[in-house]
Structure 1
Amino acid sequence: MPKKWVTPEQDKWFCDRRAVYNLAQLENRVGTYVNTTIDEFCSIWPLPEMQEVILGDTPEAIAKRAIQNEVYQTRKNQIQSKFHNERHKGAKAAVTNSPNNPAMLTKKKKRCFNLKPVHRICSIQIYSQRYYQTRVLPYVTAALAMVGSIGRGAKLNLSNCITAERFEAETDSIREEVFAALEDIQEEISEAKGKRSPADYLKAIDQAPVLLRCFLQEVAEQTGWWFSVLAGGPLPTDNGNIHTRSFHIGQTPQGQTFLDEYAAFSVDPEDPNSQRRTFEESISTLYGRFLKSLFSTEVQAQRVLNQAQLDLLNETAPMDTPLATPSPACPPLIAPVVVSPIVPQVASSIAPVTSPTALPSPSQGVPWVPPPMVALDLNSLNPGLMPFNGLADDLDFFLVGLQQGLPNNPHVPPLAPLPPLPPIYNDSNILAGTLMSLQALYAQNSRIYTALRIRILCHYTPTTSRRNSEFNL
């Protein structure tokens, strides 16, 4: 552990000012407070190297002033580190970690958005690039000879201090030359920043959902409000045509967002002629018309990816990303659920269940091709499960609720009647009946089916023993 550089008296001095530092950190003015504090500290405990006033422009004088500046910066960093490392000591220090602390919020946003600090070129850097060898290096060499052996970081700081001092003492012609070069560089950076290619726009569009989710969740946490954001514009992968997207933060206890619940609130109960409309029909369509008035055809044409960029995008697209949407003329294939034959565990008039026949595909295709279903061997179920009779009503209610709770989608025909369940229930028959019923649901709306998770409660007898078996379909 390094030796402490403060004396007990200095340690008490820091302790008395710790609360003021915490308040300065909360108000995001740490730099101003440290600059004031170091002057106060050095007036009480002056640095020996700072006692001499050095004048003149000789290499030796410049080297000594650079050394003084290095000592001053070192002590300033020590004071700031001392305050920062001990900010949690004391009851008043905990306020620095408050969620309302602007400094903490800034750090969190940088982590969420992966923001990197922007480096801005300055006049001293341009001066160093052009005149370091001829007008700065001799002074740096003399200063290093006086200092002796120092570390790489100390050498760099010494060189920067001498460069800044030499630039301040330069002639007006050289300073004007440097400032003119700085203006030219800044103009080039601004022009380059304003030119974005369609690929740049597409990359930002793909990253927008993640950034908005992080931002909206943070704002919702701070305000206690829920948010819905509507966005849209030319899509580079669709010939620059206008597309709209919406982002919603806030869910009902059932997990529904404003996008899901919009249709239920679109009907006016006092108006018998009001019609049920979806979010896309009401909001997205109108917003798309508004966007078309903002983006001219010329702007849309400028946002189009060329064929080479599209080919490269298709080659690098992930395997699970559909490169094309099935058209109604070519509906996607529906893979049937394969169910192995079942031997009933109790006496029953129910014949063994075989693989159900998949219903014909609807004339209107579903939005995407579902993955093939995996065969489920019901004979592999635990043979120790005993018959039970307590789930018939619950399962009937569950299946009817599924049928009635489907969204009103004009592209999906109504469901066929669900096949009846066997009158005598055991765990195999219930699972088989559920699969048969869900097969009808799957054949007509695979999106709902694949997102469905069925939990079947299998009861033991006697009733003192009970077990939950979960099946993910």
Structure 2
Amino acid sequence: MLSPEQLEFLKPFLAEFKELQLAGKGLTAFWERLYHKFYLVWPNQQAELEAPAEPKPPKLTKGGKISKRQVEKETPPVMIYSTMKNWKDARESQIRSYYYNRTTLGRKKGQAKVNIVVAIGKKDRVLAEHQLYSKKYYADRVKAKVDTALAKIDDVASHIKVTAQILKESWDQETKEIRDEIQAEHKRLVQEKKEKDKTLKHVLEGKGQQDISPEERAIVQEAIPELLESFCEAMAAKTGWAFSVIGGGPMAANTNAPIRVCTFHEGVIPETNQTFRGWYPEFDKLFSIPFSTFAHSVFPEAVRLRGAVNIELEKVTSPAALLESGRLVGHLQYARKAGEEEAAMAVMCGYGAKSQTRL
């Protein structure tokens, strides 16, 4: 590790490092100059060992006397490197860490900044045109041809290939009207996917986190499986650990944002090919169900309704919760204008009476 004298040596260059970093300029020349100056003072490990350490001044009491409570700390063990290269590599790494640890952009005292990197667009791809065609018209315009062809083929392994071939031929020979319909739908879905990816990237990068809309939350929630998979797979590979993650809360995209709980498990148990959930049959009973109860307690109905994209009156269980949420029935409707809360109260009172009747 760097000595107190070496740390003092590095301090005067901190301002220059900050300027270069903020300007986005390269640091190669800076490091080369700094290492050169460092090695002029400490050309090798022997020079470090021979350098006399300055004694620290004793701790004093308020009266100016030497404190009897001061504790003499043991001198930390000195790392001896086997080669000059190993010593230089260690020192240069420690020097870089010294600067980066004091100048990381966006760092606040007592807080850690977490950057989530997601391969947006690699998963949950939009179906190809012929796949959209199959999804909508397979039963009416393709299935009969496939059944006829497969009835003449005994080799089950080739069924998938034959089915795909017939589907492609049917799509290629389809009417202009249907092809135009499917192509328009494909274009719409591609554009919708681009907008979702843009929103997801916008939110995860931290822009506008103070005011994330229900629709933005719905898009991020939709990406949770990919987020967890990309994170846990990377961490499992780098650490050799197994991971089990549990989370849950209001599902913004679902009507009235009901509570949903999801778990993700990565890292199989050797010789079993099982994750923790597979290895422990009671996982859902002992973890997922209690977590769901917890989520319902910390996200009461008013909170869930406030974050819902759509609200249906019939699914509201408490009239007071809807009023407290500041929302109205429908798609992202808010009680903002004068008289809207009174109108909502009148509707909810009627609904409350109906509910009591049904009970």
Same fold (TM over 0.5): no
Q: TM-score, normalised by structure 1?
A: 0.24
Higher helix share: 2
Q: TM-score, normalised by structure 2?
A: 0.31
